[in-house]
Amino acid sequence: MGDDDEILLELTKKHLNIGLRGVPVGTCRTSFVTPEQGVHYCGYPIKDLAELRAEDVVYLLFHKELPTLDQSEAFRRELSKRGTINPAVVDVLHTLPIEGHPMHWLSIGIQTLGMYCKEDDWRSNALNLVAQMPILMALIMRIREGRGANLEASQPELGLIKNFVNLLNLPGADHEIMSKILSTFFVLHMDHGGGNLSTFTGKAVASGHAGLHSSMVAAMNALSGPLHGRANQATLEFVKSIGTDNKEDVEKFVRAELMAKRPIFGFGHAVLRKEDPRATIQLKLAKELCPEDKNIKIVQTLNEIVPTILSEIPKITNPNANVDLVSGSLLNYIGFTKPEYYTTFFGWARTAGIGAQIIDERMVLREGKGVPIYRPKYIAEGQKLRRLD
Ligand code: NMX
Ligand code: MLT
């Protein structure tokens, strides 16, 4: 039997209706996730990359190699050149209802950027979007908070994170600590294998040759669900409603949530079977930067007791912390006190990984021919052949 015929999985009926869990559907060139060690970008464990410059990690996902110093500089110059957005996007954002979730604003913002995008090139559009995201993010937050758009203040040459921090200019914020936490957040959230819901959705939509922006909007909408990216918002809301780091009180709260059949946000994962290294890295950062922060203390207590409580429930395959346990508390600490914004940061970071994976599926895989339109098979259920007579 040749390599092409290697059996990866014997499919049985028990593989149906389980969200494709464990069913191989393709290859991924940007990252892989192991149950024990979590995500690796192009072979590097995430903990080795967490403190690298965000642009260098974007380069890694797009080029599959870390850049040399010269390549790093040239790539930052390239992103800086691409980092402008049509002022008409500001007008569109001004028409959106404040009641709408920021993820919906983000989707509409990305779709609008797509309408002004003249190029028909997956790579160029993906890089443009990566370069435009800090500006779009700052605009969304400023307009929603009644602080006015300040497109003219954009300095893309500062880099992705610093331009966002400067443009946002959040009153009272420490720009240095904000940049440090956002940079780590950004690197940790860029990619997570080929099969996470948002990435899979983006690639599926791209397989029908909808453009990069339409595919990315589909991915962002997938990310906006509370079982996926919006778990970071849900976790901080959860942490705030607990309000104390007293172990007995936290345990009572968690057990009541489980009794009410509500998920314990920030715990569990479809692939991981240990604590997500992305949670471990953020816990360490929190310990260094804000050990006395009230929310961080609650998060630490949750992390001490929840895995044991969830382990009592046999159906839960992974009782450990996931990426969303800590990120909201860190974002809150640096001044983002409204949890509804948190998933937009996840989405911002993920545009890099999803963009790189869409390029691979459209332009590289199958000797450059690309993956054909997605069309998995569904088995008919409860439908006998019938006739109208
Ligand atoms: N709290 C309560 N129930 C849970 C949890 C949890 N944290 N994790 C899993 N379960 C339940 C799950 O709902 C399922 O129940 P049922 O069979 O009645 O449908 C059962 O345990 C088995 O689930 P698993 O096979 O362990 O996990 P699955 O792959 O289905 O789901 C998550 C993975 C991440 C959706 C799930 O663990 C969860 O809902 N966690 C809480 C939400 C969360 O933090 N999501 C963020 C994930 C990371 N991200 O950013 O995307
Ligand atoms: C992610 O980062 O996308 C989440 O951990 C979910 C996943 O990998 O399934």
Q: Do residues 144 and 283 both lie within one domain?
A: no
Q: Do residues 212 and 313 both lie within one domain?
A: no
Counting DSSP H helices and E strands in the chain, the numbers are 16, 3
Q: Do residues 250 and 348 both lie within one domain?
A: no
Q: Do residues 180 and 218 both lie within one domain?
A: yes
Q: Do residues 204 and 277 both lie within one domain?
A: no
* Residue 32, both tokens: 């892989």
Q: Do residues 59 and 176 both lie within one domain?
A: yes
For 187, the enclosing helix (H) or strand (E) is helix 175-189
Q: Do residues 58 and 139 both lie within one domain?
A: yes
Measured in Å, residue 219 CA sits from the centre of ligand 1 at 20
187 neighbors 48 (Cβ within 8 angstroms): no
pLDDT of residue 1: 55
The answer to whether position 387 is within a domain reads no
pLDDT of residue 4: 85
Q: Do residues 195 and 87 both lie within one domain?
A: yes
The answer to whether position 3 is within a domain reads no
Q: What is the mean pLDDT of each run of 10 residues along the chain (389 residues)?
A: 85 97 97 98 98 98 98 98 97 98 98 92 98 98 97 98 98 97 98 98 98 98 98 96 97 98 97 98 97 98 98 98 98 98 98 99 98 97 94
The answer to whether position 18 is within a domain reads no
The answer to whether position 237 is within a domain reads yes
pLDDT of residue 119: 83
**Total of domains in the chain:** 2
Q: Do residues 191 and 298 both lie within one domain?
A: no
pLDDT of residue 300: 98
Whether the CB of 196 sits within 6 Å of ligand 2:
yes
According to DSSP, residue 7 is labeled -
Q: Do residues 172 and 235 both lie within one domain?
A: no
Closest of 322, 266, 280, 281 to residue 50, by C-alpha: 281
pLDDT of residue 120: 87
Q: Do residues 207 and 280 both lie within one domain?
A: no
Q: Do residues 146 and 209 both lie within one domain?
A: yes
Q: Which ligand is nearest to the CA of 198?
A: 2
Backbone angles phi, psi at 31, to 5 degrees: -160, 160
Backbone angles phi, psi at 358, to 5 degrees: -65, -40
CATH of the domain at 85: 1.10.580.10
The residue contributing the CA closest to ligand 1 atom 21 is: 316
CATH of the domain at 287: 1.10.230.10
Backbone angles phi, psi at 192, to 5 degrees: -155, 65
Is-above-0.95 flag for pTM?
yes
DSSP secondary structure, 324-368, as one string: HHHHHHHHHHTT---GGGHHHHHHHHHHHHHHHHHHIIIIITTTT
- Of the residues 315, 323, 350, 354, which should be mutated to test ligand 1's pocket, given the most ligand atoms within 8 Å of the CB? 315
What residues does ligand 1 touch, defined as CB less than 6 Å away? Answer: 227-229, 231, 263-270, 315-318, 322-324
Compute the distance between CA of residue 145 and CA of residue 32 in angstroms, rounded to an integer: 38
For 227, the enclosing helix (H) or strand (E) is none
The answer to whether position 380 is within a domain reads no
The answer to whether position 384 is within a domain reads no
Phi-psi region of 169 (alpha: psi -120 to 50; beta: other; left: phi over 0): left
The answer to whether position 193 is within a domain reads yes
Catalytic choice (191, 245, 276, 324): 324
269 belongs to the catalytic site:
yes
The answer to whether position 31 is within a domain reads no
Q: Give the domain extent around 91.
A: 39-227+340-364
